[in-house]
Amino acid sequence: METFKSLLLIVLSSALVNNFVLSRYLGCCPFLGVSKKVDTALGMGLAVIFVMAMASVITWLVQYYLLEADWLAALGIGDLRFLQTIAFILVIAALVQFVEMVIQKSAPALYSALGVYLPLITTNCAVLGVAIININEGYNLLETLFNGIGGAVGFALAIVLFAGIRERQEYADIAKSFRGFPIALITAGLMAIAFLGFQGLIR
């Protein structure tokens, strides 16, 4: 019961309170880039959920069973923690390649709609961010998995909500100088303020 409670708290915290896009400002590139249509935003969100969940688990394993494993000391190396960033990026890149392959095969329309932003998940700092946060917070494997899923669900939630708003903005009467990206950035800021309301949710 205690474990269940702490897992729920982790999910709520990373999805809402510390939302990756709106509170931590990570992963803004796809957030702004693929949020013109709800459909593609949802596809992006699902791809990120998969990549972030898998990346969390695999990077956790890489961290504890390779970079700072006990058997390294036996070889006289100490630890390889300084390789964290490059090793994690490698994991994420491989995962993104895999996701790209699956999407290209199963949903070509979504593949072309996501365009360059699909391979760009590789450099999505939200994915690298969640992996590093998992290690810094000292989470165990289960907590890591839930933190990854929670964070990615938060990302998907934010991008889908944002896409919904932007779809409506297409038809709104907006001052010419604000059309397109300017109003999108203002909207993102307002959404970030709205998500501030979750701050008191978890103490």
| Closer Cβ to other proteins, 101 or 196, answer by number | 101
Regarding 202 and contact with other proteins (CB under 8 A), the answer is no
What is the spatial distance between Cα 172 and Cα 100, in angstroms, rounded to a whole number?
A: 34
Which run of H or of E encompasses 93? helix 84-106
Minimum Å distance from CB 176 to other proteins?
17
Regarding 11 and contact with other proteins (CB under 8 A), the answer is no
| Closer Cβ to other proteins, 106 or 200, answer by number | 106
Query: Which residues 103-132 are close enough to bind other proteins by CB under 8 A?
Result: 104-106, 108
Minimum Å distance from CB 34 to other proteins?
16
What is the spatial distance between Cα 38 and Cα 15, in angstroms, rounded to a whole number?
A: 19
Minimum Å distance from CB 70 to other proteins?
14
What is the spatial distance between Cα 42 and Cα 152, in angstroms, rounded to a whole number?
A: 12
Q: Give the rounded distance of the alpha carbon of 13 from its chain centre.
A: 14
Question: How many amino acids of this chain bind other proteins (CB under 8 A)?
Answer: 23
Regarding 47 and contact with other proteins (CB under 8 A), the answer is no
Sign of CA dihedral 84, 87, 89, 94: negative
Minimum Å distance from CB 90 to other proteins?
6
Distant-in-sequence, close-in-space partners of 110: CB < 8 Å, separation ≥ 6: 39, 40, 43, 103
Closest to 140 in 3D by CA, of 203, 61, 73 = 61
Minimum Å distance from CB 14 to other proteins?
26
What is the spatial distance between Cα 185 and Cα 34, in angstroms, rounded to a whole number?
A: 14
Query: Which residues 54-73 are close enough to bind other proteins by CB under 8 A?
Result: 62, 66-67, 72
Minimum Å distance from CB 94 to other proteins?
4
Distant-in-sequence, close-in-space partners of 23: CB < 8 Å, separation ≥ 6: 17, 192, 195, 196
The mark string for 71-100 relative to other proteins (x by CB under 8 A, - otherwise) is -x--xxxx-x--x--xx--xx--x--xx--
Question: Can you give the binding site for other proteins, defined by CB under 8 A?
Answer: 62, 66-67, 72, 75-78, 80, 83, 86-87, 90-91, 94, 97-98, 101-102, 104-106, 108
